[in-house]
Amino acid sequence: MIDLILAGAAAAMAPAELEPQPVTIGEAYTLEAVGSERAVNVILPPDYAAEPDRRWPVVYMLDGAITQDLMMGVGLMRWGALWGRSRDAIVVGIETKDRQRELLPPTGDAAERERYPTAGESAAFRQWLTEVVKPMVEARYRHDGTAVLVGESAAGHFVVETWADPPAMFTGYAAISPSLQWDFEALSRRDPGDAVRPPIYLSLADEGGATESGMERLLASLPESQAFCFSYRRTELVHANSLHGLLPEALQYLLATDADWLEEYGMVLRCERRGG
């Protein structure tokens, strides 16, 4: 009985004696773009401070606020790096405030204009990203020149649009379930020409319709030399979970390692179509 009383007393005292310590996962900057202030969150690799001579790839994640996709994206990337599925990297999360305004170009579709009246300023958002955010990150952090742009849905459209407009601002692109139905599939109707572009990871889930026909047109237009991986998951994923399911594969493709055990553990890069 005495032992139980002493144990209970010790347990009651312990919380009062403990001082909580903050868990710091990164750094945040507040910048203005397209009429709104927004966070640019920078999450460094765990070994960044301990390896002062090492340089790292950078993954730029759209919809990258703490309340958006940032924490999930960092977690999936760290998990991939832990297994050697993809290289570890600096993650830069770009907060979006009005996604259609910031991530999509103007549309000639009256129904889209009525539903999303603010849409159409992707060019201005891209200019801010490439002329303000990217140079700031490269000046402040030890990068190795690898810069990957990642986005899903409307952000995926932004990724494809950025990839399509030379000169290349990034060394790799991942467009997961991109909204290629936008503006009567206009982005997929562009002639890509013979310009040499960086590798791009493309995917579809269950979207179907104009999103899928836009993707098929885009794939058919790619030059034979274009490096790409297309993952088709119509029967396995829905639009809502395509980023969760496919971001590890996208990073495996764009930040490849020489690990030879991945397939054994089910970490397969599945490209239904591949080029380059």
**Residue numbers of the chain with a pLDDT score lower than 50:** 1, 4, 6
What's the pLDDT at 248?
97
Q: Closest Cα partner for 187 from 210, 152, 214? A: 214
DSSP letter for each residue of the chain? -HHHHHHHHHHHHHHHH---------EEEEEEETTEEEEEEEE--TTTTT-TT--EEEEEEES-STTTTHHHHHHHHHHHHHHTSS---EEEEE--SSHHHHH------HHHHHH-TT---HHHHHHHIIIIIHHHHHHHS-EEEEEEEEEETHHHHHHHHHHHSSSPSSSEEEEES--TTHHHHGGGGS--TT-----EEEEE-S--HHHHHHHHHHHHHS-TT--EEEEE-TTT--GGGHHHHHHHHHHHHHT----S-TGGGT-----SEEE-
CA dihedral 46, 51, 52, 56 (to 10 degrees): -60
What's the pLDDT at 12?
55
What's the pLDDT at 17?
84
What's the pLDDT at 195?
84
What's the pLDDT at 6?
46
